[in-house]
Chains A and B, each alone.
Chain A
Amino acid sequence: MRPFIRFESVSKAFGSLTVVNALDLAIEKGEFVSLLGPSGSGKTTILMMLAGFERPTQGAIYLDGKRIDHLPPYRRQMGVVFQNYALFPHMSVAENVAFPLEMQRVPRAEITERVERALDMVKLKQLKDRRPSQLSGGQQQRIALTRALVFEPSVILMDEPLGALDKQLREHMQLEIRELHKRLGLTIVFVTHDQSEALTMSDRIAVFNAGRIEQIDVPQVIYDTPRTRFVAEFIGETNLIEAKVASVDNQVARLSLGAGLSARAHAGNGLSAGQTASFSLRPERIRLGASPEGSNALDMTITDCIYHGDHMRVQLTRDEFSLVARCERLAGNWTVGAPVVASFDPSDCTVLTQ
Chain B
Amino acid sequence: MFRAIQITFGIAIVVFLLMPIFAILPLAFTSSVFLNYPIPAYSMRWMHELTTADVWRTSIVNSLIIGSGATVFATVLGTLASLGMRSGTLPMVGLLRTLFLLPMVVPAVVLGVGMQIFLVRLGLASTYLGVIIAHAVLCIPFVIVSVSAALQGIDPSIERAASSLGAPPVTVFRRVTLPLAIPGVVSGAIFAFATSLDEVVLTLFVAGPNQRTLARQMFSSIRENINPTVAAAALLLIIGTLCLGGLATLLRWRQKRSALETAPSAI
On A, residues with C-beta under 8 Å from B are 51-53, 72-74, 76-80, 82, 84-90, 99-100, 103-104, 131-134, 136-138, 140, 144, 147-148, 151, 157, 164
Contacts and interface: CB of A to CB of B under 8 A. Distances in A.
Contact of B164 (A52, A88, A104, A132): A52
A51 B67 CA distance: 46
A140 B163 CA distance: 19
Contact of B261 (A74, A89, A100): A89
Nearest to A77: B166
A72 B261 contact: no
A132 B160 contact: no
Centre residue among A51, A104, A133, A147 by max chain B CB count within 10 A: A133
Centre residue among B160, B165, B179 by max chain A CB count within 10 A: B165
Interface string B142-183: 000000000000010110111111111001000110011000
Contact of A74 (B163, B175, B176): B163
Given A140-B265, A147-B161, 17 more contacts: A51-B160, A73-B160, A79-B164, A80-B161, A84-B155, A84-B157, A86-B161, A87-B158, A88-B175, A89-B262, A99-B165, A100-B166, A103-B171, A104-B166, A133-B258, A137-B264, A164-B264
Contacts, number: 90
Given A89-B180, A151-B166, A137 B160 contact: no
Contact of A151 (B163, B165, B267): B165
Contacts of B267: 136-138
A256 B261 CA distance: 63
A144 B155 CA distance: 15
A288 B162 CA distance: 57
Nearest to A53: B160
Contacts of B180: 89-90
B160 A86 contact: yes
Given A77-B166, A103-B171, A82 B161 contact: yes
Contacts of A51: 160, 164
Interface of B: 155, 157-158, 160-168, 171, 175-176, 179-180, 258, 261-267
Contacts of B165: 74, 79, 99-100, 103, 147-148, 151
Nearest to B264: A84
A82 B157 contact: yes
B214 to A, nearest CB: 37
A86 B157 contact: yes
A222 B164 CA distance: 32
Interface of chain B, helix or strand or loop or mixed?
helix
Contacts of B161: 80, 82, 86-88, 144, 147
B158 A72 contact: no
A214 to B, nearest CB: 28
A176 to B, nearest CB: 16
Contact of A85 (B166, B258, B264): B264
A236 B160 CA distance: 34
28 contacts: A51-B160, A52-B164, A53-B164, A72-B163, A73-B160, A77-B166, A79-B165, A82-B160, A82-B161, A85-B264, A87-B158, A88-B158, A88-B176, A89-B261, A99-B162, A99-B165, A99-B175, A103-B171, A132-B262, A133-B258, A133-B265, A136-B267, A137-B266, A140-B264, A144-B161, A147-B161, A151-B166, A164-B264
A177 B166 CA distance: 23
Contacts of A151: 165-166
Centre residue among B161, B162, B262 by max chain A CB count within 10 A: B161
Given A88-B176, A103-B171, A138-B267, A74 B262 contact: no
Contacts of B266: 137, 164
Contacts of B265: 133, 136-137, 140
A74 B166 contact: yes
A73 B171 CA distance: 13
Contact of A80 (B164, B171, B258): B164
Contacts of B163: 52-53, 72-74
Nearest to A139: B267
Contacts of A138: 267
B175 to A, nearest CB: 8
Centre residue among B160, B258, B264, B266 by max chain A CB count within 10 A: B264
Given A80-B161, A86-B161, A103 B166 contact: yes
Centre residue among B163, B179, B261 by max chain A CB count within 10 A: B163
A202 to B, nearest CB: 22
Contacts of B162: 88, 99
A89 B165 CA distance: 16
Given A137-B266, A140-B264, A89 B258 contact: yes
A86 B179 CA distance: 15
B163 to A, nearest CB: 4
Centre residue among B158, B171, B261 by max chain A CB count within 10 A: B158
Given A84-B264, A137-B264, A137-B267, A74 B168 contact: yes
A50 B261 CA distance: 31
Centre residue among A52, A77, A80 by max chain B CB count within 10 A: A80
A158 to B, nearest CB: 12
Contacts of A144: 161
A271 to B, nearest CB: 47
Contacts of A87: 158, 161
A305 B161 CA distance: 50
A348 to B, nearest CB: 41
